[in-house]
Amino acid sequence: MSTFAVGAQDFLLDGEPFRVLSGAIHYFRVHPDLWADRIHKARLMGLNTVETYVPWNEHSPRPGEFLTDGQLDLGRFLDLVAAEGMKAIVRPGPFICAEWDNGGLPAWLFRDPTVGIRTSEPGYLAAVDAFFRALLPAVVDRQISRGGPVIMLQIENEYGAYGNDKAYLQHLVDLVKGGGLDVPLFSCDQPAGTMIEDGSLPELLKTATFGSRAAERLATLRNHQPTGPLMCAEFWNGWFDNWGTHHHRTDALSAASELDTLLASGASVNIYMFHGGTNFGFTNGSNDKGIYEPTITSYDYDAPLSEDGFPTAKYFAFRDVIAKHFPVPEEVPAVRPEAASGSVSVTASVPLLDVLELLGSPLSFDGPAPTTEDAEHYRGFSVYSTTLAHGGIFAMAEVRDRAQVFLDGHSVGVLNRDHGERAISLPSGGLLQVLVEDQGRVNYGKRIGEVKGLIAPVTLDGAELLKWDIRPLDLTQVGSLRAAAVSLDGLGDVGVAGPSVSFADFDADGPEDRYLRLDGWTKGNAFVNGFNLGRYWSRGPQRTLYIPAPLIHAGRNELAILELHGSATGKVQFVAAPDLGPDEK
């Protein structure tokens, strides 16, 4: 067994000074069959530690649940870190930000409006306690003091940017210690204003988060913490992308120079991200600082290891810097080979509104328009419906986040939250159906925990509509819609109308990475063998969706496409390499 401690100036591993050279890999953003590969490549860059967040909402999609299978097997991930001879840092929040849906907080928690958010409010603390009781055994059993890789655990996450409830932070400290944690605990905050002090406690090691001006930021951290090791707990070497913007890149040599300054100062580091991975399904978060900005499917982050797990120029620049200060392995990871390319045409399609009964049952509400929380539906799509006696101006307080409006099955228009749209003219009465897309919950700031759907009052010519059905759509079994799809064979290269689900088959020799390009398609989600790859959108910047090799098997594979508006073609492309869009010039 080993020991890990915070010394007067250094981290101490078995009593000897130890520099933490860590890289962030989120197990929940990477296919589990690829974890070992990504961890191995972290060591080859010269790192000795892997850091990960823990997404509460992913592990606990419903109250009382705690899932640990497949992509959520944190214990297996930590075991693979240990097998690679590396240490681990765990950051369980309960708030993680991470550009992840709701910052990792479960949406069901806030169905009760009295429950606090990131405070010592009793309802919130009770839920946090249950989460940590379920989580901690996998971490406690893998502490370095018990022969495992875990050397540190973080309390909350950049809390000083949100609040300063010391009782809340103390509760978290007492909670993890009571659960058996004996490794050092730390906080992390931006080195600006009062954030470092607001977000920490005297017994916690204070660390900083930054991506530039390393010497200045470390000096600020030292002013707040006269003794103990210096650590940048998030060295931002890239950035995330939002729909409708450019693909963010940072200069590899400039980022490497900052890393060199940091290491030369004697500080420890956690590179955020070392490997970003993917916001599969409906897991992406969003930001709202006056304008709602959902995060794209790729979480490539311009990290040293790309979304699909290959070294970039930044990887080799960082490796060279680390080699100036520490030994690095001689082995070098291979660069990306060309993936299988070619086109495939969809062969069958079914209008979404025709198969709603296969995707879920409606719930009836008498009164103001319900939220999706009222229907206990926390991600993806819902269909609101009601019958109108006449036309008029259909309006609401807010749409969260995108609403396609249909009257007797015919499209009337779209309301977009990011455009501030809240009203549309209806030409007549009839069956009103509104397909509402939750495009990702806010993951940072004061709008964390907000509800989704059509936000009341929802009115027609100023009179509130008080009778609604809401149907949550379950797309986990999208392949079951194929039996209802109409064949497109013999029609040539024609596009499909939306909203619809279309199907195509493609052959493969075995598991292999592929990159799906949907030029001519507008907006929706793509699925391979039932797995939700995530969202695509013609507004970009992202142009391809990553298909991890383990999702593809030898022989025939099924592609399903949920297209919300319509396509100019029935073809999709598999291309040789990813395309995440143009950089800012």
- Residue 493 sits in the same domain as residue 467: no
Mean pLDDT, range 222-239, rounded to an integer: 97
Q: Are 310 and 546 in contact (CB under 8 A)?
A: no
- Residues of the chain with pLDDT > 90: what percent? 98
- Per residue in 103-128, pLDDT (tens digit) is 999 999 999 999 999 999 999 999 99
Q: Can you tell me the distance from the alpha carbon of 445 to that of 101, in angstroms, rounded to the nearest whole number? A: 13
- In sequence order, the β-bridge partners of residue 392 are 426
> What single-letter amino acid sits at 141?
D
Mean model confidence pLDDT for the chain: 97
> What single-letter amino acid sits at 559?
L
Residue 427 placed within a domain? yes
Question: Residue 220 corresponds to which tokens in the numbers above?
Answer: 């600020």
Mean pLDDT, range 183-208, rounded to an integer: 98
Look up the CATH number of the domain holding residue 188.
3.20.20.80
- Residue 119 sits in the same domain as residue 189: yes
Q: Can you tell me the distance from the alpha carbon of 333 to that of 10, in angstroms, rounded to the nearest whole number? A: 31
> What single-letter amino acid sits at 323?
A
Q: Where are the beta strands (DSSP E) in 389-465?
A: 392-395, 398-400, 402-407, 410-416, 423-426, 430-438, 453-455, 459-460, 463-464
Question: Residue 338 corresponds to which tokens in the numbers above?
Answer: 């060309």
- Residues labelled as active-site residues: 158, 234
Mean pLDDT, range 27-50, rounded to an integer: 99
Residue 180 placed within a domain? yes
- Residue 416 sits in the same domain as residue 484: no
Cα Dmax for the chain: 78
The residues near 81 (Cβ < 8 Å, ≥ 6 apart) are 39, 50, 87, 88, 149
Q: Can you tell me the distance from the alpha carbon of 108 to that of 47, in angstroms, rounded to the nearest whole number? A: 38
Residue 583 placed within a domain? no
| C-alpha R_g of the chain | 25
- Residue 516 sits in the same domain as residue 466: no
**DSSP helix/strand/coil, 177:** helix
- Residue 310 sits in the same domain as residue 370: no
- Residue 303 sits in the same domain as residue 226: yes
Is pLDDT of 583 > 90?
Answer: no
Residue 422 placed within a domain? yes
The residues near 73 (Cβ < 8 Å, ≥ 6 apart) are 27, 32
Residue 176 placed within a domain? yes
The number of folded domains in the chain is: 3
By CB neighbour count within 10 A (0-12 exposed, 13-18 middle, 19+ buried), where does 524 fall?
Answer: buried
- Per residue in 282-327, pLDDT (tens digit) is 999 999 999 999 999 999 999 999 999 999 999 999 999 999 999 9
Chain-centre distance for alpha carbon 202: 32
**DSSP helix/strand/coil, 140:** helix
Mean pLDDT, range 11-25, rounded to an integer: 98
Confidence (pLDDT) at 388: 98
Confidence (pLDDT) at 585: 53
Q: Are 97 and 103 in contact (CB under 8 A)?
A: yes
Q: Are 216 and 193 in contact (CB under 8 A)?
A: no
Chain-centre distance for alpha carbon 452: 18
- Residue 494 sits in the same domain as residue 524: yes
Look up the CATH number of the domain holding residue 398.
2.60.120.260
Parallel, antiparallel, or unpaired for β 463-464 and 380-388? Answer: unpaired
Query: How sure is the predictor about 146, in pLDDT bands with cuts at 50, 70 and 90?
Result: very high
Among 207, 200, 180, residue whose Cα is nearest residue 22: 207
- Residue 464 sits in the same domain as residue 487: no
Q: Can you tell me the distance from the alpha carbon of 94 to that of 508, in angstroms, rounded to the nearest whole number? A: 41
Domain end marker among 453, 472, 491: 472
Among 244, 328, 325, residue whose Cα is nearest residue 539: 244
Q: Where are the beta strands (DSSP E) in 7-85?
A: 11-13, 16-18, 21-25, 49-53
Q: Are 311 and 304 in contact (CB under 8 A)?
A: yes
Confidence (pLDDT) at 1: 83
Q: Are 37 and 274 in contact (CB under 8 A)?
A: no
**What's 105-120 look like in SS3?**
CCHHHHHCCCCCCCCC
- Residue 211: how many CB atoms within 10 A of its CB? 17
- Determine phi and psi for 7, rounding to 5 degrees: -95, -175
Domain end marker among 446, 472, 498: 472
| H-helix or E-strand spanning residue 261 | helix 252-264
Residue 585 placed within a domain? no
**DSSP helix/strand/coil, 380:** strand
- Residue 366 sits in the same domain as residue 313: no
Chain-centre distance for alpha carbon 46: 26
- Per residue in 331-390, pLDDT (tens digit) is 999 999 999 999 999 999 999 999 999 999 999 999 999 999 999 999 999 999 999 999
- Residue 429 sits in the same domain as residue 540: no
Domain end marker among 447, 472, 497: 472
Q: Are 541 and 294 in contact (CB under 8 A)?
A: no
- Residue 459 sits in the same domain as residue 546: no
Mean pLDDT, range 54-70, rounded to an integer: 97
Q: Are 354 and 484 in contact (CB under 8 A)?
A: yes
- Residue 74 sits in the same domain as residue 172: yes
- Domain hosting 426: range is 360-472
Confidence (pLDDT) at 253: 98
Confidence (pLDDT) at 491: 76
The residues near 466 (Cβ < 8 Å, ≥ 6 apart) are 366, 367, 368
Is pLDDT of 471 > 60?
Answer: yes
Residue 398 placed within a domain? yes
Residue 114 placed within a domain? yes
